Amino acid sequence: MQSDKDIVNLCLNDGIQHFEKIIKLYNNYVFGVMMRVTAGNIHFSEDLTQLAFIRAMKYLRSYDQEKELKTWLVQIAINCFKTEIKKNNKYVGIDNANEPVTEIKDDDEFYEMIATLSSTERIIFTLKYVYEYKNEDIGNSLSINTNTVKSIIKRALEKLR
């Protein structure tokens, strides 16, 4: 199996047609993060995942190959989420969703629980407790201070009690 670095270099040197390998490797991971960030909104998560990969393809030359590719992709997806929220204010929480979330029944309680959090709290909570990111990594990914990450986590946990 090729390393992330090898695949990125293939894309950069031999053509973007190799980007499909990156999508196959990380599509489910990025989609999973977006499902949790959007509190289970499948269609919005699909749109955000697709948008994130389009942006990743466009800006692949700016990717720092010393960092993890999946972290970079998640960072792009989270930025897409924030942009779409601001631009369209089209986010629909799980309580207001018109379509049932039938594909992921095991996560229904989780989605309902985190739906009470703000989008920033949901992003940080998901990265910390679902994907086990360190506070420092979350701060770096979101360009915020580590102490801010800690206080947002504390506030989110208090809301969830």
Give the pLDDT confidence of 60-109 residue by residue, as tens digits. Answer: 999 998 889 999 999 999 999 988 887 766 544 433 333 333 344 457 77
Q: What CATH number does the domain containing 54 carry?
A: 1.10.1740.10
> Does 90 map to a domain?
yes
CA distances, 40 to each of 19, 29, 36, 92, 110 (Å): 27, 14, 6, 10, 9
Domain that holds residue 25: 4-95
Q: Quote the number of domains for the chain.
A: 1
> For 66, which DSSP code?
T
Q: Quick check: pTM over 0.85? A: no
Residue 70 lies in a domain: yes
Q: Is residue 139 a part of any domain in this protein? A: no
Question: Residue 119 domain-assigned?
Answer: no
